[in-house]
Amino acid sequence: MDTIGVGLIGSGFMGKCHALAWSAVKPVFGSNRTPHLVALADVDSDVATKRATEFGFERATADWRDLLADPAVDVISITAPNQFHAEMAIAALGAGKHVWCEKPMAPTLDEALAMRDAAAASDAVAILGYNYIQNPAIRHIAKLLGEGAIGRVSHVRFEMDEDFMASPDAPFGWKHDAASGYGALDDFAVHPLSILHVLIGDVREVMIDMAKPFDDRATADGSRRAVETYDVASALIRLDDGISGTLLVSRAAWGRKGRLAIQIFGTHGAILFDQERGNELQLYRSEDPVGEQGFRTVLTAPIHSPYDRFLPAPGHGLGFNDFKTIECHELLECIADRNGMTIDFDVGLTIERTVHAMARSFETGQWQEVNPAD
């Protein structure tokens, strides 16, 4: 069959992002099945109708379960809030639909485990929306590492920082409530971990510290309430083969807007990347002539596949939403039984186990192993 029927749950920013990807993937890549935008579900039926029209979906519904019952729907994009991911993904897989679920998997490890099991029990494809790994710059770093461009990797440093919690004047919100999780750890750590997985490998042991830049914040009634989450988290990490590293995250880092800074050191060079300048990477090769060694700023270009599917000339720049289109293409490759590069539910579970080990480390003040049997 030449088309593939798409259902979308959620129509906020990530819903729009998925919709754009589904619209662009065929014009950009050409080779895939043509997405047919069947139905959009949003809990607010007016919003559902409005967004379905804007995004080009044929039907709108306030009940996401309608998508499961619809034989025209082959794949479901899940962009609802995190606490619904498990229920929706498991149901969709049970209905034989492919699943493209936004990260993270779920608030609790048990739910994530159930999602993984549902995916394992299904013939359908189930992937998570970790689109930073789809940036041609990141994919080229993976290629360089695979070719041994910087030799054996020995040390890595990852930072992910934004400043949306940096203002002391921001009022107490749900993200300051312990019910929302640990804070920056939950918001950000999974992203660098997804990139670590693709580039180097998984984390084996963690030691973490977390901090609250603000003790309390103003509430609507004029009083102040103690902040229960941590806007800053700093982790020491150990991987296989003696690789050491750090993973530092903050959502209170003034001036950082979408920083995802990577430093990878190897026996014969180093690679740097920062998402804020996401159309370039920096490469240092110790084999360069003495006196001419330096970090090369490599701008992404058609040679860094699949940049060429978007633009014929180097240095003209892709954007965040383009990475989502690439992810959509990779999903379609998986569905077509080809070799799509994605974070599936197995890997996703490992990532979440790592985050939970970090949380345990903070509670115990001790190094923790990332136990695959947790």
Question: Cα(192)–Cα(230) distance, rounded to whole angstroms?
Answer: 18
Residue 32 tokens, joined: 């895939």
Q: What's the closest the beta carbon of residue 117 comes to a second copy, in angstroms? A: 33
Q: Nearer to a second copy by C-beta: 43 or 236?
A: 236
Q: Nearer to a second copy by C-beta: 68 or 370?
A: 370
Q: What's the closest the beta carbon of residue 150 comes to a second copy, in angstroms? A: 7
Q: What's the closest the beta carbon of residue 205 comes to a second copy, in angstroms? A: 9
Q: What's the closest the beta carbon of residue 16 comes to a second copy, in angstroms? A: 6
Nearest to 82 by CA among 5, 153, 187: 187
The answer to whether the beta carbons of residues 343 and 128 sit under 8 Å apart is: yes
Nearest to 351 by CA among 138, 160, 201, 194: 194
Q: Nearer to a second copy by C-beta: 99 or 160?
A: 160
Question: Cα(323)–Cα(139) distance, rounded to whole angstroms?
Answer: 11
Q: What's the closest the beta carbon of residue 317 comes to a second copy, in angstroms? A: 5
What is the length of the chain? 374
* Strands 98-102 vs 126-129: parallel, antiparallel or unpaired: parallel
The answer to whether the beta carbons of residues 304 and 295 sit under 8 Å apart is: no
Q: Nearer to a second copy by C-beta: 65 or 263?
A: 263
Q: Which element (helix H / strand E) includes 154?
A: strand 153-161
Q: Nearer to a second copy by C-beta: 37 or 75?
A: 37
Residue 370 tokens, joined: 């990332």
